[in-house]
Copies of this chain bind each other. A is one copy, B any other.
Amino acid sequence: MNTFFSVQNIDNLQEIVKEALALKANPYAFKSLGQNKMLGLVFLNPSLRTRLSTQKAAMNLGMDVMVMNMDKDGWALETRDGVVMDGTTVEHIREAAAVMGEYCDILGLRSFPGLKDRKEDYSEDLFNKFIKFCNKPVISLESATRHPLQSLTDLITIIEHTPVTSKEANGTFTTVAHKPKVVLTWAPHVKALPQAVPNSFAEWMCKAQEEDLLSFTITHPEGYELDESFTKGATITTNQEEALKNADFVYVKNWSSYHEYGKILVTGREWMPTVEKFKVTNQARVMHCLPVRRDLELASELLDSPASLVIKEAGNRVWAAQAVLKRMLDQLV
């Protein structure tokens, strides 16, 4: 694997989930694989989980890690081509990426969207240029439109918490996983947030649905439709209660409008998931990528209940990152 940017970089979801869970069971089994290999993590935006879990994953594999807070410790980047750089940007992404490629064997990059110009954000121009010019395998640590390490983590967490049942046929017992109903629900927020996490979650769940691992439903207020290229195959409804019925996993996330780009259309506080609302579910587990705003996006009572998977989910970020890094290292040798 040369790039980990979207679900399209993974052929078989079940397989990589299996690999990740094997690493979770045995974190240091490949400690010699990363010997003398350098991971560079480049942040243009804040990060807690991604920063720490990806470092941890790399160290588990024996890699060295360097973290670059480009926005604070480095230089302001230019991404446009053909401009005379006589303004405030100090270094072009072409050189910055190429130079970091000289020092690292694998690079990770986080870059949030501006949420002003949809075409620009969705072109993933900065990310594509980084991939092109650094000349090394690149892991997305969240780009303008996707957060694949989070989505892989989410899938791992869902599969890990899906009960397996034993079935008898003609005297032979086989274990069969229950096919869970997974629901992505929009939730209120006070700030305009990117669509990266819901886009990414949707494209991973749609593919998991194709692989017959689960069924996938999205619910949000009118006007919050995501870009259709991410949601193909999903059941989509603006009726949250309907969506929650018999749900096994409920993924809670706010996002700003895609169609009226970057706008907050409704305050929508009635969309906040609560224990009461969860009564129609199949004792659903609640998930969130974090950070979560308590009692705005998600009721504390739910977050602090046994239904919540958010901490275990965050913990699984290590194994998602480690599975991806391992695949890249395997190819480097």
Contacts and interface: CB of A to CB of B under 8 A. Distances in A.
A318 interface: yes
Nearest to A89: B293
A199 to B, nearest CB: 21
B47 A73 contact: yes
Interface stretch (A13-21, A49-57, A112-120, A244-252): A49-57
Interface stretch (A61-69, A200-208, A224-232): A61-69
**Copies of this chain in the oligomer:** 3
Interface string A217-258: 000000000000000000000000000000000000000000
A266 interface: no
Contact of A290 (B59, B91, B314): B91
A75 B75 CA distance: 22
Interface residues of A, number: 62
Contacts of A55: 66
A12 interface: no
A295 B52 contact: no
A103 interface: yes
A300 interface: yes
Contacts of A92: 291-292, 294
A contact face: mostly helix, strand, loop, or mixed: mixed
A177 to B, nearest CB: 25
A104 B49 CA distance: 12
Nearest to A48: B74
B51 A73 contact: yes
A78 interface: yes
A82 B293 CA distance: 12
Interface of A: 27-28, 31, 36, 38, 40, 43, 46-49, 51-53, 55-56, 59-60, 64, 66, 68-70, 72-75, 78, 82-87, 90-92, 94-96, 98-100, 102-104, 190, 290-296, 300, 304, 310-312, 314-315, 318
Which 4 pairs across A and B sit closest by C-beta, in order of nearness? A91-B291, A102-B315, A85-B293, A48-B74
Given A53-B103, A86-B296, A102-B314, 19 more contacts: A40-B52, A43-B73, A48-B68, A48-B73, A48-B74, A48-B99, A52-B66, A56-B103, A78-B294, A82-B300, A84-B296, A85-B294, A85-B295, A87-B190, A91-B290, A92-B291, A98-B311, A102-B312, A102-B318
